[in-house]
Amino acid sequence: MQDLLPEKQEIFRHIAHTIGDVLSAYGYREVGLPLLESTGLFERVVGEATDIVEKEMYTFDDRNGDSLTLRPEGTAGCVRFAQQHGLAFNQVQRFFYAGPMFRYERPQKGRYRQFEQIGVECFGMAGPDIDAELLMLLGRIWRELGIVGSVELELNSLGSADSRAVYRKSLVEYLSQHKAGLDADSLRRLETNPLRILDSKDPGTREILAGAPKLNEFLDEESKLHFDDLRRTLDRMQQPYRVNPSIVRGLDYYNRTVFEWTTDKLGAQGTVCGGGRYDGLFEQVGGKHTPAVGFAIGLDRLALMLEPGYEHRPEADIYVVSAGAAARTSALMLAEQVRDGFPALRVQVHCGDGKFKSQMKRADAVGARLALIIGEDEVAADTVSVKHLREEGQQVSVGSGALNDYLAKVFV
């Protein structure tokens, strides 16, 4: 689990704001969801035989003996939330949420045990149009973040639950004839979750998979039409994508459209966003049929991408320096006046005594463009001395009441 230094946190906040703005421009509303849910919810929704439930959850008993789990992903909680508040069945909803997720994984670059996601879930829309809109929305997010050239959209269709069952059977039949060449994990999955073998990274297993039956040959007619329509729409909207038949996603609940956005800028941890449809999930957890589609963006990996060229804002735009007890109060008052007039400017007051010289050093160190200087003379004359720190030796005296007008000309 990482501590985030201010520079890093600033990037996270920029990313979260940018994404939040795009989402609200598309009519998505933010919801606040608990970091904990009952363990059974994740077992039912994410699936017993997934990596997450098998080995990645932080699970504990509370004082009442109830088993709780720190959320490893957001869809389960959001589905629980929508059911509980009657916000899904027979309705159209566009929700998003932001915050930390927890998975017991091997920590490395781009993979942490607490990480940030922004998740989006759409309820009540069955057609490929909403799938397309979500992908266009993501394209816009990458453009706003300035990384559109570094990410690629990979698409697949998993078909219906029924067509997947038929495919699963045929895949198991094929792989059972090649057991000797499979890695240990894949052998185990052959019994528990054979589709997950498709994203095995083991070279031997990959070789065997090359000759395996393909999921797209088993798609049911409706899923095929859905996928063709989505592809046509993306083509017309000039959103590039690549069909990647080995995308199966790590969670059990998906059907039809699944997608990942990947980058080659982060080494092995190259997926920055994953999602897809989960039309059967509400029924699976005891609700009524509600078509649904969503995705989750991993903010930590985006932050790694943005970090190298990120232009941090200075700690302060204006630094207020003072000498003497009377001036100290004037400094605080003046700073409030500036904040009233310029809410977006960063104004820092030097608190605690200090020599004038060291205060000015500090003003420079925090990157301020202006120092506002208040000494005994200024207090007596009700003025402030304004020193420009980034331009050649200018210092001007301004009446306190005229300061905001002066600043308006500097910070246009």
Stretch that binds ligand ATP, among 10-18, 26-34, 102-110, 175-183 (CB under 6 A): 102-110
* List 42, 95, 115, 123, residue binding ligand ATP (CB under 6 A): 115
> Residue holding tokens 């933010």?
30
Considering only residues 68 to 87 of the shown chain, the ones binding ligand ATP according to CB under 6 A are: 73
Amino acid occupying residue 201: K
Query: Dihedral of CA 242/109/301/148: which sign?
Result: negative
* List 18, 170, 271, 337, residue binding ligand ATP (CB under 6 A): 271
Residue closer to ligand ATP (CB basis): 273 or 370 = 273
CB of 92 to ligand ATP, least distance (A): 24
If one asks whether residue 272 binds ligand ATP (CB under 6 A), the answer comes out as: yes
DSSP 351-392: -S---HHHHHHHHHHTT-SEEEEE-HHHHHHTEEEEEESSSS
Look up residue 335 and give its two tokens: 């700073």
Look up residue 206 and give its two tokens: 């990959």
* List 128, 274, 276, 291, residue binding ligand ATP (CB under 6 A): 274
* Residue number with the smallest Cβ distance to ligand ATP: 298
If one asks whether residue 276 binds ligand ATP (CB under 6 A), the answer comes out as: no
* List 50, 117, 160, 257, residue binding ligand ATP (CB under 6 A): 117
Residue closer to ligand ATP (CB basis): 303 or 407 = 303
Burial class of residue 187, CB neighbours in 10 A (0-12, 13-18, 19+): middle
Residue closer to ligand ATP (CB basis): 261 or 319 = 261
Angle at 262 between CA 219 and CA 120, to 5 degrees: 75
If one asks whether residue 273 binds ligand ATP (CB under 6 A), the answer comes out as: yes
If one asks whether residue 301 binds ligand ATP (CB under 6 A), the answer comes out as: yes
Residue closer to ligand ATP (CB basis): 73 or 279 = 73
Cβ-based neighbours of 244, under 8 Å, separated by 6 or more = 154, 155, 156, 260
Total residues in contact with ligand ATP, by rule CB under 6 A: 18
Nearest-CA neighbor of 91 among 282, 297, 257? 282
Residue closer to ligand ATP (CB basis): 134 or 368 = 134
DSSP 12-26: HHHHHHHHHHHHHHT
If one asks whether residue 102 binds ligand ATP (CB under 6 A), the answer comes out as: no
Look up residue 387 and give its two tokens: 């020193």
Residue closer to ligand ATP (CB basis): 273 or 281 = 273
CB of 340 to ligand ATP, least distance (A): 41
DSSP 181-236: GS-HHHHHHHHH-GGGGGG---HHHHHHHHTSPPGGGG--HHHHHHHHHHHHHHHH
What span, in angstroms and rounded, lies between the C-alpha atoms of 291 and 318?
A: 52
What span, in angstroms and rounded, lies between the C-alpha atoms of 315 and 312?
A: 9
* List 128, 159, 280, 298, residue binding ligand ATP (CB under 6 A): 298
x/- binding map, residues 166-195, to ligand ATP, per CB under 6 A?
------------------------------
Would you tell me which residues interact with ligand ATP (CB under 6 A)? 73, 103, 105, 110-112, 115, 117, 250, 269, 271-274, 296, 298, 300-301
